[in-house]
Amino acid sequence: MRGAIIGDIIGSAFENNQPDAQDFQLLKPLSAYTDNTITTLSTADAILHNKAYGDTLKDWVQRYPKAGYRPRFLEWALSENKATYVSEGDGAARRISPIGFASPSLDEALRQAEMSTVITHNTQIRIEASKAVAGSIFLAKQGKSKSEIKQLIEEIFNYKLDQTLEEVKLMLSQTSDDLPTPVPAAMVAFLASSDFEDAIRKAVWLGGPTHTIASITGGIAQAYYNHIPKSLVRKTLCRLPSEMEELIEEFEAAYLTPVC
């Protein structure tokens, strides 16, 4: 799970200033967690403590209401409204990584991803995007090869993952902020990478919604490489409040082997 949060923090500084090359400085003074991190932690909290996804989502947003949410979503999260909120964004796919790590089977990962997603993104394209992320993380954690992960995700979700990084970067530069889903772009960055840090660099270099793409890529890359440099963990996670760090440690102690 921390891979997704590291990707969010690194990507946050490049939303409107994408790097020209992949050897950019990973962290800047303004690098910080965003709504991706808050909602990811809410998913982990729900899994760890057997809570409802919707309840923990609202709880964490109410604790950290200034993390960059869309105005309508924030209004819903701060209200007592129990109705389903239908978002036009991509927030569900970027909060889903704990499900991929914690699920005992691919079927369960896909089922739980849908359960979490329909609370705020009850549309087919958003549900499939969340399932693709959770499924990719589960498969990577099980030791599947990149070719196996790619083949299964293409078959199940009809994603086209044969594009080059350059083709994806061009597509993102010509597309509005409201992408159908950033998940295929994030997966292309992962598939082209050689290690965790390289995956994050490629995800940010693509442009578009960098903190979202890097967050999704980071979750998959953590599951696949099972290693994140200690220095990168230290320099990013020190930007989190202590209760966030404690939840990450508790979740990964329950569902992951050490990744540093």
Question: Residue 100 is encoded by which pair of tokens?
Answer: 């991929």
Question: Residue 206 is encoded by which pair of tokens?
Answer: 């693509």
C-alpha 98/C-alpha 88 separation (Å) is: 22
| Nearest of 63, 4, 84 to residue 37 by alpha carbon | 4
C-alpha 2/C-alpha 228 separation (Å) is: 9
Identify residue 84 by its one-letter amino acid code. Answer: T
Confirm whether residue 212 is marked as ligand binding. yes
CB 1 within 8 A of CB 29: no
C-alpha 91/C-alpha 100 separation (Å) is: 16
Confirm whether residue 181 is marked as ligand binding. no
Gyration radius from the chain CA atoms: 16
Confirm whether residue 257 is marked as ligand binding. no
DSSP label at 91?
A: T
Q: Assign 180 to helix, strand or coil.
A: coil
**Binding site for Mg(2+): residue ranges?**
34-35, 212
**Binding site: residue ranges?**
34-35, 212
